């Protein structure tokens, strides 16, 4: 029989509140059940934590149970909230493509007392708190982790009156353009361009933002790591009555995906902690802690979130301006949309709500957006249909079918290189964790949301740059 050896940190890990009850529980366990195994002891303590009222009269653990009940009552006085017993109903688009973990995260979100409406997009996969691809409308509150860490992450596409044949005939030229005019990860420009967003009043009056201004200046115009990219490709417009008033045909285009860099990440971390301190939820929902909009902290976060979104837009603007200057051409059309954000909107029944789209694209009636596939799969310029059941939303991409670690272990360098060659795509940087095989079939995803968006144009990647300066033998 394993010797019982249980310490305070073991109880904290189980979920016990720090303080008197931890020592009381350990002393009671050793005094009355010293000969039991460690496994038995941990199981018993977990049972007491989850069902303290069952042990109030227990000779060994009665005091522990009563202390836990008292702590629970104190928590309620200090902003503790229970989840609703019933899950508010919500639609799941493309359910057969979505992992159970993402569905369960959405079930939890729809049990929040502030939840009003929601939907799960066909690219959904498990994340932290709200799943990636989750849409959640709440009453008079904002959930920092429901927005996400990369606040205002977005897509931006510019089209040029240039023949896509240039990409086939001079691919090295476009690789060089990307290397010279884009930066990723820790690599930033020696001469970042200035921008009005850096003079915003939030940098003066919100402390966490004020402390990040220098970093924001250094990183402006650059992109993050992971799945962020800048790429040349071709756009095909097939409808003579397209939204850009352009002739039917193929156009050279630039597509970028990035967010608010260190500014947004630090805002998210700071206010998530503030929310979790003020809004205590059961362990399964702790990352869904909210701030009410009429609180000082909620107002601050809302201002900081909007600043981060505008900063992300400025980053894309700099990326596309640099590339346009290098091409010696002005773009003839531009489309931009963001995700990882919260919007004040009105539902069909007239209720005013805050809609969180974590990895979901706004798709209100007539709203243009971009839904990318992968580095070899097509992306789609779309026009929203304003579907009420989806809370005016659509997917933000294809969505992962493999985690990063799984992709690295299952996809070989040779298969990745061969796939790029077969699809005629040149890649600078990147890695196996972003291989196209790690993503869902974008065509299946688009079929699952035909009621949500109309397809306006199709973008095909040709020269792609991600974090990392070398081709790593991908060519």
Query: Which residues are annotated as catalytic?
Result: 396
Distance of CA 67 to the CA centre of its chain: 39
Residue 150 in marked binding region: yes
Residue 174 in marked binding region: no
Phi then psi for residue 318, to 5 deg, are: -65, -40
Contacts made by residues 11-16, CB under 8 angstroms, sequence distance 24+: 11/45, 14/42, 14/45, 14/46, 14/49, 15/49, 15/283, 16/45, 16/49, 16/68
Cα–Cα distance, 161 to 329 (Å, whole number): 8
Cα–Cα distance, 229 to 222 (Å, whole number): 10
Residue 340 in marked binding region: yes
Contacts made by residues 409-418, CB under 8 angstroms, sequence distance 24+: 411/435, 411/437, 411/438, 413/473, 416/474, 417/473, 417/474, 417/475
The separation between the first and the last C-alpha atoms of the chain, rounded to the nearest angstrom, is 59
Residue 227 in marked binding region: yes
Q: Which two tokens stand for residue 287?
A: 């990352």
Residue 316 in marked binding region: no
Residue 431 in marked binding region: no
Residue 127 in marked binding region: no
Residue 121 in marked binding region: no
CA distances from 172 to 21, 62, 164, 278, 380 (A): 67, 75, 14, 54, 26
Residue 110 in marked binding region: no
Residue 228 in marked binding region: yes
Residue 414 in marked binding region: no
Residue 244 in marked binding region: no
Residue 249 in marked binding region: no
Binding residues for Mn(2+), as ranges, are 150, 228, 257, 339
Binding residues, as ranges, are 150, 227-231, 257, 339-340, 372-375, 396-399
Binding residues for GMP, as ranges, are 227-231, 339-340, 372-375, 396-399
């Amino acid at each position: 029989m394993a010797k019982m050896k249980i310490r305070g940190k073991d109880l904290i890990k189980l979920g016990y509140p720090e303080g008197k009850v931890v020592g009381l529980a350990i002393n009671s366990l050793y005094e009355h059940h010293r000969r039991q195994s460690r496994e038995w002891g941990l199981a018993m303590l977990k049972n007491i934590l989850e069902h303290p009222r069952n042990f109030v009269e227990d000779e060994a653990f009665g005091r522990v149970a009563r202390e836990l009940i008292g702590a629970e009552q104190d928590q309620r006085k200090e902003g503790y909230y229970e989840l609703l017993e019933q899950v508010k109903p919500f639609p799941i688009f493309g359910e057969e493509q979505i992992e159970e973990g993402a569905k369960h995260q959405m079930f939890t979100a729809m049990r929040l007392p502030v939840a009003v409406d929601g939907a799960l997009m066909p690219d959904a996969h498990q994340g932290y708190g709200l799943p990636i691809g989750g849409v959640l409308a709440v009453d008079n509150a904002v959930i920092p982790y429901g927005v996400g860490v990369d606040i205002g992450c977005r897509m931006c596409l510019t089209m040029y009156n240039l023949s896509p044949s240039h990409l086939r005939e001079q691919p090295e030229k476009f690789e060089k353009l990307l290397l010279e005019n884009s930066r990723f990860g820790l690599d930033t420009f020696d001469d970042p361009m200035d921008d009005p967003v850096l003079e915003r009043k939030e940098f003066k009056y919100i402390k966490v933002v004020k402390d990040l201004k220098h970093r924001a200046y250094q990183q402006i115009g650059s992109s993050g790591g992971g799945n962020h990219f800048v790429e040349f490709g071709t756009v095909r417009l097939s409808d003579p009555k397209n939204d850009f008033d352009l002739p039917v045909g193929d156009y050279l285009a630039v597509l970028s995906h990035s967010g608010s860099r260190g500014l947004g990440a630090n805002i998210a971390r700071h206010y998530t902690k503030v929310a979790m301190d003020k809004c205590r939820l059961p362990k399964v929902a702790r990352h869904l802690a909210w701030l009410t909009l009429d609180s000082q902290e909620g107002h601050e976060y809302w201002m900081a979130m909007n600043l981060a979104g505008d900063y992300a837009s400025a980053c894309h603007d700099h990326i596309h301006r640099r590339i346009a200057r290098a091409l010696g051409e002005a773009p003839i059309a531009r489309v931009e949309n963001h995700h990882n954000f919260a919007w004040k909107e009105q539902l069909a029944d007239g209720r005013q709500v805050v809609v969180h789209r974590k990895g979901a694209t706004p798709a209100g009636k007539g709203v243009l957006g971009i839904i990318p596939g992968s580095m070899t799969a097509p992306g789609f310029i779309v026009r929203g249909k304003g579907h009420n059941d989806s809370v005016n939303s659509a997917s933000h991409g294809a969505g992962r079918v493999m985690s990063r670690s799984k992709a690295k272990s299952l996809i070989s360098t040779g298969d990745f290189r061969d796939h790029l060659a077969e699809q005629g795509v040149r890649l600078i940087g990147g890695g196996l964790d972003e291989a196209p095989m790690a993503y869902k079939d974008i065509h299946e995803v688009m079929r699952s949301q035909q009621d949500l968006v109309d397809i306006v144009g199709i973008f095909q990647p040709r020269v792609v740059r991600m974090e990392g300066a070398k081709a790593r033998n991908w060519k």
